[in-house]
């Protein structure tokens, strides 16, 4: 039991001493860029499909 407690303490100390603790602003910027790009691509594709549908309906009415 003592060995388990000691190894757990050592593991916690090792994790706390790591220099890379969390994401940096550059990583967050990349995530935001990727999400924004996906949203723009989706909205653009959806807009083209909606425009084509409205043009099809307008053509059938006239």
Alpha helices, DSSP H, located in the chain? 2-16, 25-61
What does the block give as tokens for 41? 């691509």
Give me the half-sphere count of Cα atoms (radius 13 Å) on the Cβ side of residue 58.
6
Chain centroid to CA 21: 19
Q: 2-61, pLDDT tens digit by residue?
A: 887 888 888 888 777 766 666 788 889 999 999 999 999 999 999 989 999 999 999 999
10, 11, 17, 23 alpha-carbon torsion, rounded to 10°? -170
Q: What is the pLDDT of residue 21?
A: 61
């Amino acid at each position: 039991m003592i060995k388990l407690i000691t190894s757990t303490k050592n593991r916690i100390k090792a994790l706390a001493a790591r220099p890379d603790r969390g994401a940096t602003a550059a990583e967050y910027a990349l995530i935001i860029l990727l999400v924004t790009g996906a949203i723009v691509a989706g909205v653009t594709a959806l807009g083209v499909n909606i425009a084509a549908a409205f043009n099809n309906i307008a053509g059938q009415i006239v």
